[in-house]
Amino acid sequence: MPTLDVSGRYFSFFEFWPSWLIYLPVVIQSLGQGIFHCSIILPLLANPLLKFGGMVGAPKSELWGQAKGQYKASTLDWFIHTLYTGEYDNQITDIKAQMEKRQLVFPVVCKPDIGCWGNGVRLVDEKELIDYLESYPENANIMIQKLAHWEPEADVFYTRKPGQEQGSIISLALKYMPYVVGNGRETLEQLIDQDARA
């Protein structure tokens, strides 16, 4: 992946807008299309293989389970653990057995199977795993995934209309975690204050 280019502007004008403002045009367009096509649920048909078209409440495992061929091969390995009644030690043993089967090692990324905006996503080592599991109710589905060692994260938005053999990429975003480099003189707070993005 390319390194972060800091020669120009550090962030987009839209980058730090609140989520409700970012999604407002989507809601307006969806309602408009629904009225035009006489179907208020029209936007929920975007992906007919997912509950509510993947717009709301669709488990990640359902979406990722549809992956085939090269996409499946390029996805970081993952599995679902459903919390059950009983000792957490037994659940840890089950999780470690699943990890060994998939050749996963700690730390791993744990996240709720149905998530929103990164809530509940944690990087955990073996000692932190029990604390993570204890924060969820019985029968909750937790996705456990291999940690990626690459930066940045790339979001690729691909669309294909029904009947089309091939779709197209309509948006690509590269996400870099902000960082500062110490110089031995200034405090961390001072370094953060000097960086526009941080």
Question: What is the tens place of the pLDDT at every residue in 10-54?
Answer: 566 767 788 888 889 988 988 898 889 888 887 777 777 777 777
Domain over 76-148 is classified CATH 3.30.70.100: no
Task: Encode 95-123 in three state secondary structure.
Answer: HHHHHHHCCCCCCEEEEECCCCCCCCCEE
Write out the residue limits of the CATH 3.30.1490.20 domain(s) in the chain: 76-148
Report yes or no: 60 and 114 within 8 Å, Cβ to Cβ.
yes
- Show the tokens assigned to 46: 């975007």
* Cα–Cα nearest to 91, from 80, 83, 99: 83
pTM for this structure?
0.70
pLDDT digits (tens, 9 = 90+) for 53-111: 777 778 888 878 887 887 777 788 999 999 988 788 899 999 999 999 999 999 999 99
